């Protein structure tokens, strides 16, 4: 009986930690299946939301019972940010009316709290050095399982659940074509790539600290899956952060090894290099002088990244490829559309075709791919206009739709200067505490701290092109890791 009571006591003391370890596995491994869709959007309440709600409730109970403690140094910065978010939400929902659907704005506001509360939960579980290394080991095991599933998806036809468009977000089980970019258990290739990029410097830091070759294999597996995602922004973030990390800790020989492995895998997989080559293309296009419409002659396939309509005109306008066939194709298509819509009658057809053909001017250009063109022409200008409209508070959470593909633009557009500065202040304080702490510790602890710092650096690079801090699996993971590292280094900081 005494042993049983002792077991229950230990279970009670470690309940939050046990549930957090479960969440560390659940977040990356459980597919993004919807529990309930939210009206007027393809955002859904998911099972991870329910799990976290239970975890947060138990954390609150244990906090009241003084079984866990709250990191008091971060209460005010987080409270200030949450206040900025909800001030922006209320102002834009009920005063300026920039948020069309207030319930959606409320959901986006609450989601920020949901992601970030993990920081306090995770930091509360670190009472000893052993706690930190125990919990972080489960993170690496979960990462290994993600890598294995990604390989299975690439070579064994494992299914995917993606949220890349409104239809897929309903929870359909998909089987990817051979040329498709893998997403493993994530909602899309981009958030899988960010997750891996954030993890790689931490993996390498543990390899140098622990001298365990398991981390070398984990690094190679993570890099391979990263390349199978064909995410250019994440590959750039990986390259910059990893090279900077290895140079900073003076591991020059290992840097050569990493460069050789990276180049070898890039050539072996092939897709990442092809996507980089398609980012900007020199093309001769047709521009309608009357409407400004852009027409680009290209074959659209699942293997090709199509060019977008964003272009830069070249000075050299000497004649290039013959576009007569493409011009005639465009004229016929536009004429057919006009006929179907009733815009012209049959006796106007020849005159209409001649006028349209005369208005189509060929131009030598550099065109971007459709991914970059969407950012340049739609998403980033929309965010900039929102910031101009309301510089202090932005136009409110959810006002820029589900994606802006650039967190800095999203923060400024939705939350304005107040919310952006408050959020950046939290990130700065986390980095400052860890940076200040590692300088006073031994070699092993320094390396591990540097791994997190450079992993964060990679995430910050990625955030310039992707909504990294808004992707749920990435956000959950980042705030959990940040809490664990602050819990580990926080006591050292307090003594300085």
**The pair of three-digit structure tokens given for residue 495, joined into one six-digit string:** 């003594």
How high is the pLDDT of residue 264?
A: 93
Any idea which of 168-172, 192-196, 258-262, 384-388 has the lowest mean pLDDT?
A: 168-172
- Asked if 298 and 373 count as a contact pair (C-beta separation under 8 A), the reply is no
Tell how far CA 38 is from the center of its chain. Answer: 21
pLDDT, mean of residues 412-427: 95
Residue 325 has what pLDDT?
Answer: 66
CB 246 within 8 A of CB 254: yes
**pLDDT per position as a tens digit, 197-239:** 999 999 999 999 998 999 999 999 999 999 999 888 899 999 9
3-state secondary structure 424-444: HHHHHHHHHHHHHHHCCCCHH
pLDDT given at position 401: 74
pLDDT for 130-140, tens place per residue?
999 999 999 99
Lowest mean pLDDT across 162-171, 222-231, 276-285, 434-443 = 276-285
| pLDDT over threshold 60, residue 495 | no
Task: Give the number of other CB atoms < 10 A from CB of residue 436.
Answer: 14
d(CA 171, CA 187): 10
Query: Which two structure tokens, joined as six digits, stand for 424?
Result: 């950046």
Instruction: Confirm if 59 and 124 have CB atoms less than 8 A apart.
Output: yes
Alpha helix positions (H), 30-128: 47-64, 75-94, 102-124
Task: Tell me the average pLDDT of the chain.
Answer: 85
Residue 282's beta-bridge partner residues? Answer: 366
Percent pLDDT > 70 in the chain is 81
Sheet holding 294-295, edge to edge: 294-295, 280-288, 360-369, 307-313
d(CA 415, CA 84): 7
**Average confidence (pLDDT) over 474-491:** 92
Between residues 326 and 265, the one the model is more confident about: 265
pLDDT of residue 496: 46
Task: Copy the structure tokens of residue 84.
Answer: 């900025």
Any idea which residue has 């398609």 for tokens? 278
- Reported as a single tens digit per residue, the pLDDT across 46-99 is 899 999 999 999 999 999 988 888 888 999 999 999 999 999 999 999 999 898
Of 336-340, 457-461, 472-476, where does mean pLDDT reach its minimum?
Answer: 336-340
Under 8 Å between Cβ of 483 and 120? yes
- Burial pattern 372-402, b for ≥16 Cβ within 10 A else e, equals bbbbeeebbebbeebbeebeebbbbbbbbee
Which residues face 24 on adjacent strands?
none
Segment 402-417 mean pLDDT: 88
Mean per-residue pLDDT, 319-339: 65
pLDDT band at 276 (very low <50, low <70, confident <90, very high): low
**What digits encode the pLDDT tens for the residues 12-39?**
888 999 999 999 999 999 988 887 777 6
Average pLDDT over residues 249-258: 95
pLDDT score recorded for residue 321: 52
**Helix (H), strand (E) at residue 416:** helix 407-438
Mapped onto helix, strand or coil, the DSSP state of residue 108 is: helix
CB-count burial class (<10 Å; 0-12, 13-18, 19+) for 89: buried
Give the span between the Cα atoms of 259 and 255, in whole angstroms.
Answer: 6
Query: Are 135 and 487 spatial neighbours (Cβ–Cβ below 8 Å)?
Result: no
Q: Are 448 and 434 in contact (CB under 8 A)?
A: no
Tokens of 87: 């001030």
Q: How, if at all, do strands 34-37 and 307-313 pair? A: unpaired
Distances 248 to 436, 437, 447 between C-alpha atoms, Å: 16, 17, 10
The pLDDT value recorded for residue 326 is 65
Q: What SS3 string covers 401-412?
A: CCCCCCHHHHHH
For residue 377, what is the DSSP state?
A: I
Under the banding of pLDDT at 50, 70 and 90, the label for residue 474 is very high
Assessment of whether the complete model's pTM goes beyond 0.75:
yes
How far, in Å, are 65, 161, 381, 429 from residue 231 at the CA level? 46, 18, 23, 30
> At which residue do the structure tokens 């939301």 appear?
49
| CA dist., res. 106 & res. 121, Å (int) | 23
Confidence class of residue 171 from pLDDT cuts 50, 70 and 90? confident
Of 158-167, 175-184, 378-387, least confident by mean pLDDT is: 158-167
């Amino acid at each position: 009986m005494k042993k049983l009571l002792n077991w229950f006591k230990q279970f009670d003391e470690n309940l939050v930690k046990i549930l957090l370890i479960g969440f560390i596995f659940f977040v990356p491994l459980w597919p993004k299946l919807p529990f309930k869709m939210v009206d007027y959007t393809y955002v859904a309440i998911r099972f991870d939301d329910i799990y976290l709600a239970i975890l947060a409730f138990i954390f609150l109970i244990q906090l009241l019972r003084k079984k866990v403690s709250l990191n008091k140094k971060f209460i005010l910065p987080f409270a200030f940010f949450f206040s900025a978010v909800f001030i922006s939400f209320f102002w834009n929902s009920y005063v300026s009316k920039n948020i069309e659907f207030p319930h959606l704005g409320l959901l986006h506001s609450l989601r920020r709290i949901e992601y970030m509360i993990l920081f306090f939960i995770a930091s509360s579980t670190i009472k000893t050095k052993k706690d930190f290394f125990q919990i972080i080991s489960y993170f690496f095991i979960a990462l290994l399982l993600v890598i294995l599933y990604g390989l299975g998806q690439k070579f064994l036809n494992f299914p995917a659940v993606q949220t890349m468009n409104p239809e897929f977000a309903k929870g359909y089980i998909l089987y990817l074509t051979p040329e498709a970019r893998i997403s493993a258990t994530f909602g899309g290739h981009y958030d899988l790539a960010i997750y891996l990029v954030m993890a790689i410097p931490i993996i390498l830091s543990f390899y140098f600290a622990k001298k365990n070759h398991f981390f070398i294999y984990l690094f190679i597996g993570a890099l391979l899956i990263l390349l199978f995602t064909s995410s250019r922004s994440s590959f750039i973030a990986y390259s910059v952060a990893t090279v900077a990390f290895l140079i900073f800790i003076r591991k020059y020989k290992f840097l050569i090894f990493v460069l050789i492995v990276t180049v070898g895998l890039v050539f072996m997989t092939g897709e990442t290099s092809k996507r980089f080559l398609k980012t900007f293309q020199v093309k001769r296009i047709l521009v309608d002088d009357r409407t400004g419409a852009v027409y680009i002659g290209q074959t659209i396939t699942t293997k090709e990244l199509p060019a977008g309509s964003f272009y830069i005109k070249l000075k050299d306008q000497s004649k290039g490829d013959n576009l007569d066939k493409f011009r005639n194709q465009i004229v016929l298509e536009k004429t057919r559309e006009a006929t179907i819509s009733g815009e012209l009658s049959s006796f106007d057809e020849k005159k209409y075709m001649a006028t349209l053909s005369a208005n189509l001017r060929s131009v030598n250009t550099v065109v971007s791919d459709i991914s970059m063109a969407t950012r340049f022409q739609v998403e980033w200008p929309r965010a900039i206009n929102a910031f101009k409209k309301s510089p202090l508070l932005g136009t409110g959470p959810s006002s820029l739709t589900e994606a802006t593909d650039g967190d800095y633009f999203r923060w400024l557009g939705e939350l304005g200067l107040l919310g952006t500065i408050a959020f950046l202040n939290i990130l700065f304080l986390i980095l400052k505490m860890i940076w200040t702490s590692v300088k006073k510790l031994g070699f092993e602890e320094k390396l591990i701290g540097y791994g997190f710092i450079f992993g964060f650096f990679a995430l910050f690079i990625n955030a310039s092109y992707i909504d990294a801090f808004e992707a749920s699996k990435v956000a959950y993971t980042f705030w959990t890791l940040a809490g664990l590292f602050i819990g580990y280094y926080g006591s050292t900081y307090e003594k300085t």
